[in-house]
Structure 1
Amino acid sequence: MTPVSSHSPHGQSPLRTVQVLGGGNAGSSVHVRSLASGLVARGVRVTVCAPVEADHLYDFSGVGAEHVHVPRSSDPGSVAALRAACMDADLVHAHGLHASFRAVLALSGRRMPLVVTWHDRAYAEGARAHLVRLLERRVVKAASVVLGTTSALVDRARRTGARDARLAAVSLPAAHSAPESEQDDAERRRPKVRAELGATGRPLLIAVGTLERHRGYDVLLDASRAWRRMDPLPLVVIAGEGPLRGELQSRIEAEGLPVRLIGRRDDARELIAAADLALLPSRWEARSVLAQEALHARVPLVATQVGGVPELVGDAAELVPYGDPEALATAVVRLLGDPERRELLRERGVRQAGTWPTEDETVAQVLSVYDELTQARPLI
């Protein structure tokens, strides 16, 4: 695809954008780094507003963006810091609900285009769920354009009152572009990774994600009872950290389940590539990173048929209803016993991944939205 340029043949000044992050979501942070890199390469001036620890983790400065420390939303100074950072911008692009709400507050009283990307749904229950709906309504009504990473999120934005909501499926940076030497190295490391996890000579099932209620790990533990009688005994490894760790660990120990919690890991891609199956038991997912990593790595996926998952994976995964441990267990046992089906899913996975947007296509689409909203920029 021919890159879209932010330079004007009529002497317009370079486009100045501010990317706003809440600092808590890895998927949106990785996307913003990729987006910043592509925009800078096209001559756009990019400022990333995020907590300083996010810049340490994702190195926005390293791809040519300016990083401005803006505290998390719980800090009373975050809106003032964001307002100052946006003073000379042509456009602000906020990622996620809380970052978007702060952007709305920071831009109050100013006529500046605001683009909002919904990477996922905000999860809340009880009274907090009502607050989330109010925040969503305030954000989408203030936004010039809402970009949803799945059709379900676009529909949700429209129902909430967005005047302009569009599908903008984001790419998974560098997942399929590693040099052959790196891919060969990952294949050589596979036995070592499996040995480190305790899965030598037994099936390895991998799940990755925060230990929160909506991830469905309680259902996964229920399902794991079904394969305790298998020989060799499959091992479930869950990489992630969160408030349910104590509850899940207590169940694993009390019920003698073949499950390991290994905490937050920076090598999730390597873990997935070493697995026999990847598991996604969530109550809701948008554009799941685990699902994308699994298909790129040719690892068969068993996932719940929720949110944006069916749209993302097509026929390249085994889909089961959410909250049905028997269906989840049956799908896992059937796949482990059917090498031909596993190979079919691997082939379909590679084909499906080929339909997803590249980083270049993602940047070009976003930049076309920016150009549409900023056509009256001043001349140099």
Structure 2
Amino acid sequence: MTQLRTVQVLGGGSAGSSSHVRSLASGLVARGVRVTVCAPAELDRLYDYLGAGAHFVPLPRLGDPATVTALRNACIGADVVHAHGLQASVRATLALSAPSCGASSGGLGPGGTGLGGSGFGRPGSGGGRTPLVTTWHSRNHLDGARGGVQRLLERRTVRAASVVLGTSSELVDRARRRGARDARLAPVTVPAARGPVCLHDGKARAELGAVDRPLLMAVGALERGRGYGTLLDAARSWRDLDPQPLLVIAGEGRERAALQRRITAERLSVRLIGRRDDVAELLAAADVAVLPSRREARSLLAQEALRLGVPLVATAVGGVPELVGDAAELVPYGDSVALARAVRGLLEDADRRMDLAAAGRVQAGTWPTEDQTIAHVLSVYDELAGRR
């Protein structure tokens, strides 16, 4: 039997999609599949796809015409190409529509969007073309002209895909509205932290400066839409608590300077600690985890918090309610009063924290395992490869 070969494509590479591809590559290689990962070079340094047994092809920056050429060459001979996220799907669709892949080529339009030609073919529609699978890991929200471009790209890429996998029911419904011929729910379970993790670890709390006071933890890129402005509003209202809790935010992004200016000006008990590779250990040391985002599908923070038994307060957006069930306190996005009240309530009620901790572990037990996630994706590949 011929060995199956798949190409995994990443664009910007969020933490969730990048971790999933690392897990997928390792699991597929262990099952005898040849895997090539095509992604920006920095992602291999962070996630070590080569260490997972995959071949790695670095892609040029977004918008560089050489990207499509590099990806087209990497896809020659592949049985299935799997793109993760919208940027990656645009690149993969253009690459598979190029002449060497059996269709006319369309150039990159303004900003590298692929709008400038006929390059958005239907790779999975027959004629021996390589099937394209695309996974929607999350939903970005853009307004105005940029939002219109995003919707157009979504329509064109899902119609070019043989199968669209959505990590939440909301994303599956969205793909179908955009015209996907075959959209399926495929919850992605990111691997749990390796090795034992100590809850309320005194060393971690001492490092963060929360030995004798409550520790709140948020994790994620410091970007608009992540709800950090609302979170700082809530932090301002916690100043009357004794002892005053410390809010620690792990992550980097364009909003860091603005957030730090506000923290300093308002003398908020908040620390920005940058990107960390020990998030599980820091999260395990927290009394409460906070997820204030505007858009989420299968949040990494929510998964880690529930697995570890750390009480979670999160916004009731996207796939969060489906992911956490009754095992978290849910609040509306942008409502600092509700967010502050939910956190305060947990800090003042140890029994409720214990109940949520237990419920979180139970809820986490309902999610597919890493092996089940890999097996499901492989079944999709086998199905598509068998059609050719």
Structure 1-normalised TM-score? 0.92
Does the 8 Å contact 1:97/1:122 carry over to 2?
no
Does the 8 Å contact 1:278/1:301 carry over to 2?
yes
Listed as ranges, the matches of 1:40-119 within 5 Å are: 40-108=29-97, 109=103, 111-119=129-137
* Residue in structure 2 matched with residue 370 of structure 1 by the alignment: 381
Cα separation, 2, equivalents of 1:200 and 1:255: 23
Gaps of 5+ in 1: 1-11
Matched, 1:38 2:27: yes
Q: CA deviation at 1:25?
A: 1.1
Pairwise CA RMSD: 1.3
Cα separation, 1, equivalents of 2:49 and 2:254: 29
Does the 8 Å contact 1:23/1:72 carry over to 2?
no
Name segments (4+ residues, structure 1) moved above 3 Å. none
Cα separation, 1, equivalents of 2:330 and 2:345: 13
Cα separation, 1, equivalents of 2:32 and 2:92: 24
Cα-to-partner distance string for 1:207-241 (whole Å, 9 max, x where unaligned): 00011111000000111121101100001111111
* Residue in structure 2 matched with residue 8 of structure 1 by the alignment: none
Cα separation, 1, equivalents of 2:77 and 2:292: 44
Identity of matched residues, %: 69
Gaps of 5+ in 2: 98-102, 104-122, 124-128
> How many residues end up aligned between the 2 structures?
359
Q: CA deviation at 1:156?
A: 0.5
Q: CA deviation at 1:57?
A: 1.4
* Residue in structure 2 matched with residue 3 of structure 1 by the alignment: none
Cα separation, 2, equivalents of 1:99 and 1:72: 12
Cα separation, 1, equivalents of 2:342 and 2:52: 42
| SS of equivalent residue, structure 1 residue 262 | strand
* Residue in structure 2 matched with residue 254 of structure 1 by the alignment: 265
Listed as ranges, the matches of 1:17-28 within 5 Å are: 17-28=6-17
Aligned residue identity for 1:212: E
Q: CA deviation at 1:376?
A: 4.8
Structure 2-normalised TM-score? 0.90
* Residue in structure 2 matched with residue 121 of structure 1 by the alignment: 139
Does the 8 Å contact 2:140/2:295 carry over to 1?
no
Out of 165, 173, 190, the residue aligned to residue 147 of structure 1 is 165
Aligned residue identity for 1:152: E
Q: CA deviation at 1:63?
A: 1.6
Does the 8 Å contact 1:151/1:308 carry over to 2?
yes
Cα separation, 2, equivalents of 1:40 and 1:247: 44
Q: CA deviation at 1:128?
A: 1.2
Aligned residue identity for 2:306: L
* Residue in structure 1 matched with residue 118 of structure 2 by the alignment: none
Out of 211, 224, 227, the residue aligned to residue 213 of structure 1 is 224
Cα-to-partner distance string for 1:308-335 (whole Å, 9 max, x where unaligned): 0000000000001111111011111111
- The answer to which structure, 1 or 2, has the higher relative contact order (CA under 8 A, 6+ apart) is 1
Cα separation, 2, equivalents of 1:17 and 1:225: 50
* Residue in structure 1 matched with residue 276 of structure 2 by the alignment: 265
Q: CA deviation at 1:256?
A: 1.5
Listed as ranges, the matches of 1:193-212 within 5 Å are: 193-212=204-223
Q: CA deviation at 1:75?
A: 2.2
* Residue in structure 1 matched with residue 112 of structure 2 by the alignment: none
* Residue in structure 1 matched with residue 296 of structure 2 by the alignment: 285
Cα separation, 2, equivalents of 1:281 and 1:122: 15
Aligned residue identity for 2:26: S
Q: CA deviation at 1:289?
A: 0.2
Matched, 1:324 2:313: no
* Residue in structure 1 matched with residue 100 of structure 2 by the alignment: none
Cα separation, 2, equivalents of 1:113 and 1:133: 22
* Residue in structure 1 matched with residue 185 of structure 2 by the alignment: 167
| SS of equivalent residue, structure 1 residue 20 | strand
Cα-to-partner distance string for 1:104-123 (whole Å, 9 max, x where unaligned): 00000161100000000134
